[in-house]
Amino acid sequence: MDFKPLITLLAIVNPLAIVPFFIHYTQGFSPEQRRRTIYTSAFTAFVVIAVSALLGLNILEFFGISLASFQVGGGMLLLMSSLNMLNAQPAEAKPSSHELQDGAEKAAMGASIAVVPLTIPLLTGPATMSTVVIYAERATDAWQLAALVAYGAVIAVATALCFALAQPIARVLGKTGINVMTRLMGLILAALAVEVMADGLLKLFPVLGNHLR
């Protein structure tokens, strides 16, 4: 079984890096509200990955986008995400500090905070979706596609664990530890991004492959 998609998704989603945001958004929540937020975030992350795996290629076909073009664009997005992570920022695009403050004020309005912004775009944004679609195209049979959906479940479990242990993780790792982990995942993601872009460029411009031989 190929675990590269799982490693890539873990690097992009990186729930450890979202722990400070989870703590920030759930300040003042009761234990029951916090549990509901954890379950909703984890389930939504799984749904985003599963839908991208099962319907992503159909969506590309509907808009007339070639997979090779999508790979290059997705690879560039992954590379940008990795650069953010190397600067100790979460992979997906994040709101500004003012938006975070506004979001925290709205958190008391209901559990919707678990979906936006905690899951989308903090956990699963464009980089995650494009990665899943690229690996879905590489699936040669239903079992590999099912494995990709199963990886979404693994991501959901990892997210739930990180959020459930948010306070202990923050105390043990501290800001420095989380930054180090984010940079390490960013380095891995950068290498994977180059590989995805190179594969897409070779499909768009086969002549490049002839020069490399």
- pLDDT tens track for 150-160: 999 999 999 99
> Residue 108: pLDDT above 80?
no
Q: Is 154 exposed, middle or buried (0-12, 13-18, 19+ CB in 10 A)?
A: middle
Please, what is the average pLDDT of the chain?
A: 82
> Residue 88: pLDDT above 70?
no
Count of domains forming the chain: 1
> Residue 74: pLDDT above 90?
no
Query: What pLDDT shows up at residue 91?
Result: 55
Query: What pLDDT shows up at residue 126?
Result: 78
Q: Is 104 exposed, middle or buried (0-12, 13-18, 19+ CB in 10 A)?
A: middle
Q: Is the peptide bond before 117 cis (omega within 30 degrees of 0)?
A: yes
User: What residue numbers bound the domain in which 186 lies?
Assistant: 4-212
* Span 71-87, average pLDDT: 83
Q: Is the peptide bond before 121 cis (omega within 30 degrees of 0)?
A: yes
* Span 42-71, average pLDDT: 91
Question: Is the pTM value of this prediction over 0.75?
Answer: no
> Residue 97: pLDDT above 70?
no
Query: What pLDDT shows up at residue 170?
Result: 81
